[in-house]
């Protein structure tokens, strides 16, 4: 586990005096304080990192222990990290004052927390303009009907359509509690929609379309009944290393895990986190295949994160320690928890259809995570990566099998 570089975060040298550390903290805490950066979540994260660095470096004993660990005098310090994520409405939830709004209409969003926590994060705010917030109200003691903390926002949507707000989350002990997301429907104002009678051409087109729908529905039903032929909405290319494909019966649903979970936690462990790190990777997954992303240390070839991402979903991998990494990506459909990919070992779980193993460890694909400071600015790395099998793009990868992929 890598230690966060508190000296870089505060912008001081390793020989800085207590007065220099205190002056640096006051300078940056004043600049990034949440009260002066309302509606800017990144400023809140920087303020948290600065506060943690000052907490360690301002205490003589904590600083001595930290310096020994940095120099290799002791085993690396293991930061507290979430072992697994849990969706629990009794701990945290999101509510809105309305589900259907028009563009630029204000919307009240409230995050309710029923347990003491250290930090609350909220996804989905990038789809809205923050008019007001976050406004924090607290009460004690908490109970089933009395939350400990309520965080409210006043938002205006930037786009039309169904917009997702959430999930919100906080970490307590070794568990990351997640709320369910809420969705609001955003349309143009009704008065802008002009209603007029349908023309003869439009009526004729409607009759033709209705007739074709009835005809093809009958044709599909006849084929299913007579020849047991199941229609496919899209023909997919058969990938190499494809696992046996079970036939889904009529009405069966393809199995998917929730985006963000770590399916191979029992095999790789809880992962490596630096809670003071602002490094992150934003993943956009294609709409065809689900994926399991393995973030791998380029020097040790050890897997430090593994996360499941549904087809068409976005996912942000946060708190990544400084270092060089590459990606391993397992693509496929229809997750099977009992599937054993290796003949020996504890690894269990995989895709039943369209399986492909990709290793992106060429030099051009190396992901470099670094914190640095230039004057008053704390720099960090954000990567944005779109996932798809390499045959559909221009990334350089090695097509592998399960044995090479997980070892």
pLDDT in tens, 51-67: 899 999 999 889 999 99
Judge whether residue 40 has pLDDT over 50: yes
Q: Which of 4-8, 149-153, 247-251 has the lowest mean pLDDT?
A: 247-251
pLDDT in tens, 109-165: 998 887 765 578 888 888 899 999 888 887 655 555 666 788 899 999 988 887 889
pLDDT in tens, 67-96: 988 877 544 333 444 456 788 888 889 999
**Average pLDDT of the chain to the nearest whole number:** 81
The pLDDT assigned to 401 comes to 81
| 403 vs 146, more confident | 403
Residue reference for tokens 């930290």: 66
Contact 310, 334 (CB under 8 A): no
Judge whether residue 233 has pLDDT over 70: no
The pLDDT assigned to 117 comes to 58
Report the percentage of the chain scoring pLDDT > 90: 32
Residues 261-265, mean pLDDT to the nearest whole number: 92
| DSSP β-ladder status, 84-87 and 175-178 | parallel
Q: Which of 33-42, 162-171, 276-285, 386-395 has the lowest mean pLDDT?
A: 386-395
Judge whether residue 252 has pLDDT over 70: no
Crossing angle of helices 60-70 and 41-57, rounded to 10°: 100
Helix, coil or strand: residue 306: strand
The pLDDT assigned to 333 comes to 94
Query: What whole-number distance in Å separates Cα of residue 295 and Cα of residue 155?
Result: 34
Judge whether residue 342 has pLDDT over 90: no
To 5 degrees, how large is the angle CA 78–CA 84–CA 87? Answer: 140
> Residue 236's pLDDT band (boundaries 50, 70, 90)?
very low
Query: What whole-number distance in Å separates Cα of residue 267 and Cα of residue 271?
Result: 10
Helix, coil or strand: residue 369: strand
The pLDDT assigned to 238 comes to 39
For the record, the structure tokens of 205 come out as 């087109």
Report the percentage of the chain scoring pLDDT > 70: 81
The pLDDT assigned to 102 comes to 87
pTM value is 0.46
Distances (CA, A) of 212 to 198, 205, 216, 219, 226: 20, 11, 6, 10, 21
Judge whether residue 364 has pLDDT over 80: yes
> Residue 322's pLDDT band (boundaries 50, 70, 90)?
very high
């Amino acid at each position: 586990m890598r230690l966060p570089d508190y000296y870089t975060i505060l912008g001081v040298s390793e020989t800085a005096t207590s007065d220099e550390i205190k002056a640096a903290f006051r300078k940056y805490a004043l600049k990034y304080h949440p009260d002066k950066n309302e509606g800017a979540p990144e400023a809140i994260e920087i303020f948290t990192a600065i506060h943690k660095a000052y907490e360690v470096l301002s205490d003589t004993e904590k600083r001595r222990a930290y310096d020994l660990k940095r120099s290799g005098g002791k085993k690396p310090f293991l930061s507290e990290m979430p072992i697994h994520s849990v969706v629990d409405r009794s701990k945290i939830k999101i509510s809105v004052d309305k589900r259907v709004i028009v563009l630029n209409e204000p919307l009240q969003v409230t995050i309710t927390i029923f347990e003491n926590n250290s930090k609350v994060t909220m996804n989905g705010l990038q789809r809205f303009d923050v008019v007001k917030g976050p406004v924090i109200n607290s009460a004690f003691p908490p109970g089933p009907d009395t939350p400990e903390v309520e965080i409210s926002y006043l938002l205006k949507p930037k786009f039309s359509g169904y917009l997702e707000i959430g999930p919100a989350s906080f970490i307590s002990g070794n568990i990351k509690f997640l709320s369910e997301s809420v969705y609001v429907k955003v349309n143009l104002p009704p008065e802008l929609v002009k209603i007029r009678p349908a023309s003869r051409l439009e009526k004729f087109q409607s009759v033709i379309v209705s007739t074709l729908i009835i005809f093809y529905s009958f044709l599909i039903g006849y084929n299913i009944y007579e020849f047991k032929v199941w229609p496919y909405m899209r023909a997919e290319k058969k990938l190499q290393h494809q696992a046996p494909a079970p036939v889904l019966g009529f009405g069966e649903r393809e199995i998917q895990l929730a985006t963000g979970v770590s399916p191979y936690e029992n095999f790789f462990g809880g992962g490596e986190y630096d809670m003071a790190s602002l490094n992150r990777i934003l993943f956009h997954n294609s709409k065809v295949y689900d994926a399991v992303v393995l973030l791998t240390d380029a020097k040790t070839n050890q897997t430090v994160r593994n996360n499941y991402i549904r087809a068409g979903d976005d996912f942000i991998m946060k708190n990544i320690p400084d270092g060089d990494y590459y990606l391993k990506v397992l693509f496929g459909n229809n997750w099977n928890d009992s599937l054993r990919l290796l003949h020996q070992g504890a690894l269990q779980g995989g895709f039943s259809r369209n399986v492909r193993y990709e290793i992106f460890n060429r030099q051009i694909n190396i992901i470099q995570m670094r914190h640095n400071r230039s004057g008053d600015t704390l720099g960090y790395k954000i990567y944005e990566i779109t996932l798809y099998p390499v045959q559909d793009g221009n990334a350089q990868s090695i097509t592998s099998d399960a044995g090479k992929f997980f070892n």
